[in-house]
Amino acid sequence: MFQQILDPIAGSLVISALCAALPLVLLFVLLGVFKVKAPVAALASLALSLVLAVAGWQMPVNQALSATAAGIFYGLFPILWILVNALWIYRLTVATPWFEVLGRTIRSISNDLRILSILIAFCFGALLESLAGFGAPVAISAAMLMAAGMKPLKSAVVSLLANTAPVAFGAMAAPIIALNGVTGLPLHDLSSMAGRQTPFIALIVPLLLVFIVDGRRGVKQTWPVALVAGVAFGAAQFVTSNYFAVELTDVVAAVVTVAAVLLMLKVWQPKETVGMEGAVEGAPEAEHAAVAVAAVSRGTGSDAGATAGTAAGSDAGRAAGTTVPTDNSRPEPRQIWMAIAPYLIIIAVFSVAQLPFVKTWLGQVGSVTFAWPGLDITDSAGKPVAATKFKLDHLKATGTLLLFSGLLTMVLYKVSASQGLRIYRDTLVQLRWTIVTVTAVLGLSFVMNLSGQTTTLGFALASAGGFFAILSPLIGWIGVALTGSDTSSNSLFGQMQATAAEQTGLSPVLMAASNSSAGVMGKMLSLQNLAVAAAAVGLDGAEGTLFRKLIGWSLGLLALITVLIYLQSTPVLGWMVP
């Protein structure tokens, strides 16, 4: 048996904490300073953590290697099992004409770029985030906004800023599921807590988008529809994450928001329309609200399509060769239903899986709990460490339900088995470096957690006392900004946040969820996302410009959610913590 030691280095908690932080410092320096590829940086940090675990924290070599294997396994299942199948469904839709119909449906609603920034970047981007992630929402929404007539740099900024509110529940809630895996805290509690934080950001983001597109005039003229979008998205996020299924949070929120905006536009239109190149026109008649920008197909549309096609092959989250359609005519009702069918199928499959008798049956025949071989670990107080036990929900796992949804989508779209398998293979190839990165980061996380390095860091940070409630969101923000992934940040810092919270008398659920909710504000500044956005709009090398335009918004949103989290750690809003 191995018992964790809090201060193994020179008998000092401070020196031990500084040593425990070295793998994270190495990861951040390699990524942020030397711009080393994420897989290499993650593997190097994992290797350093193993050396520290054995030489510093006196963890037996066989247990250190077993902890690495446990982390890799958890990275593969359920995390990558979710990501691969979610991206597979997205690629299935791209391989058919229905993806273009879906984009055309959204763009046909209005020729006002302010409205389109909400529908495309905020709503459609959230749908893509719920399935594809990894740059797809930013790349595709930016190119679609260009096709609608928005300038390249502004399209990139709008798409990056919009990709905040849905990230905590993106990729079928992979960040929250990862947080549950490394902390052992109840998934429902973490989901509920995040669902009581991110809606406040969702409420603000649409207003910021119209401000970026058209300044104060944009906010003054379109605040009603922006407010409707924010309230609808935030309310749907709260209800779904707290009372339904965490995996469906972004899907439901995006669909509900689109419906709310469509209903709003039937009874209300802005006084003026801001079209291509910022041209201002009088308000269209309500019955003509669905007319799109006619000049798109003659001008910027072809360039945007070419740009999107180029960008599509440059990032793991985009389907190779995807081009953005420039036809803005409104599809027939049947075509619209077919275009949104994959999302409806996903909602239906997850809804059926939540039925009491189905959920019970899946839990009985599709769930196995076992102790990970080779691990026998207690914490510094002599209590068994929960992370040594695994619960394998192979049938009711999110990734498995997504696989079923993909098979149903294949049947509906008449995709042959050979084509479906080929797309699945291409998806694995597309994610090959992501798979290496995620498994290495989860291996690093498990080694740090099980060796006691994370606990040492947590106890050291606990010396901040109540101030840790302000420090916690900043840690999550730094994690996402540097790794480019809320899932990776949660895997690295989730246990540390929970440990520090326990030592300071704060709620572990609150601090762990805050790592995810506040972390997403750093997504728009991550090198990966900036590179994706720059490539998508044909502005290679403009990452620095995008960074400077977004840093203020990112820090402002971080400050707002930090205030919320601090108040939730006090009696003022403490009632919000589950």
The pLDDT score that the predictor gives to residue 133 is 64
CA–CA gap between residue 62 and residue 375 (Å, rounded): 9
Whole-number pLDDT of residue 281? 60
pLDDT digits (tens, 9 = 90+) for 515-524: 999 999 989 9
CB 482 within 8 A of CB 446: no
Amino acid at 206: P
Q: What is the largest CA-CA distance in the chain?
A: 76
Identity at 438, one-letter amino acid code: V
Phi, psi of 298 (to 5 degrees): -95, -25
Got the DSSP string for 437-495? HHHHHHHHHHHHHHHTHHHHHHHHHGGGGGGHHHHHHHHHHHHHHHHS-HHHHHHHHHH
Domains of the chain: which residue ranges? 104-332
Pairing of strands 377-378, 368-371: unpaired
AA identity, residue 567: L
* DSSP characters over 383-399: PBPGGGEEEE-TTTSHH
How far apart, in Å, are the Cα atoms of 170 and each of 19, 196, 248, 487?
A: 33, 16, 9, 9
What's the confidence (pLDDT) of residue 423?
94
Q: Are strands 377-378 and 2-3 parallel, antiparallel or unpaired?
A: parallel
Q: How far apart are CA 360 and CA 353, in angstroms?
A: 9
Q: Is 36 helix (H, G, I), strand (E, B) or coil?
A: coil
- The residues of the chain scoring below 50 in pLDDT are 283-325
pLDDT at 369: 86
CA 497, 503, 504, 508 dihedral sign is: positive
Q: Taking a C-beta distance cutoff of 8 angstroms, is the pair 479, 166 a contact?
A: no
Amino acid at 9: I
Alpha-carbon span 95 to 426, nearest angstrom: 12
What is the token pair recorded at 286? 């309500």
pLDDT of residue 288: 38
Distance, C-alpha 80 to centroid of its chain: 14
Strand partners, 213: none
